[in-house]
Amino acid sequence: MKGWQIFRHSFNLVMANLDQAFRLSLVLYLAQSIYTVYSFFNPPQMMEFEGTEVPVMSPETILPTILFGILAVIASLWIAVAWHRFALTGESTSGWLPRFHGSAVMGYLGRSILIGVLVVLGVMVLSIPVGIISIGLPPLAGIMSLILIGTAAYLFFRLGVMLPAAALGERLTLGETWDVTKGQSGTILVLALIVVGASIVIQLPSWFNDDPSSVINVVYSLVVNWFATIIGISVLTTLYGHFVENRPID
């Protein structure tokens, strides 16, 4: 089953190169995590607006939240570009901060926004019949929600092949991206379901915590999200390497 092979190859890629994974991402991930930690200790206040409780940020937290949010975005893009380049070209670092490729990071950002918009549009279109079915058959509402999540993951991985290309400074159009995985819908769907399932499994411990907003939960989420981030980037790397560069995944 090629979907499982791609996931396994991506996981093994991280495990076999943990030293570089830490060197390329640890400092940047800590910078990215500042946003999460700050938001945890400065949660929005609930205020009543026209009979409804809505979260409202206090004035003194607005600017730091924006700045830390921008820092988190830059750090996450930097990590993605660095890991793609390491896995595909062997570009490594002996220090704790990878080389910054400004044009690649900006290209990655632009393509990420494009993919995000297309995924949202795809899910919105599908949500119409799914919503009708859910209303008519309430017991199937949970299954319908899973279908939407699976569709979003499928579209992301199908289109996400263009992201490693951006990290390498290569041009891969939307049409070319769709074509390179033509005939591989089953593989991509299985891969999407595996990734979604794995994401749910690693989050289960935090869901069963009596206090979901506890410090322990935040620390746990930060740790497992590091692994999820690197492995997720590796999945895109493997997709690009296999379908665009014809690399083996055995």
What is the tens place of the pLDDT at every residue in 184-218?
A: 999 999 999 999 889 888 887 777 766 666 788 88
Q: Which pair of tokens denotes residue 224?
A: 């497992």
Q: Does residue 48 come out as left (phi exceeding 0), alpha (psi in the -120 to 50 range) or beta? A: beta
> Residue 23 above 90 pLDDT?
yes
Domain range list for the chain: 2-243
What is the tens place of the pLDDT at every residue in 47-99?
A: 766 667 777 777 888 899 999 999 999 999 999 999 999 999 999 988 899 99
**Per-residue CA distances from 219 to 32, 204, 215, 222, 240 (Å):** 14, 14, 6, 5, 32
- Pick from 135-144, 154-163, 189-198: least confident: 135-144
pLDDT of residue 210: 63
pTM over 0.75: yes
Give the C-alpha separation, 169 to 240, whole Å: 13
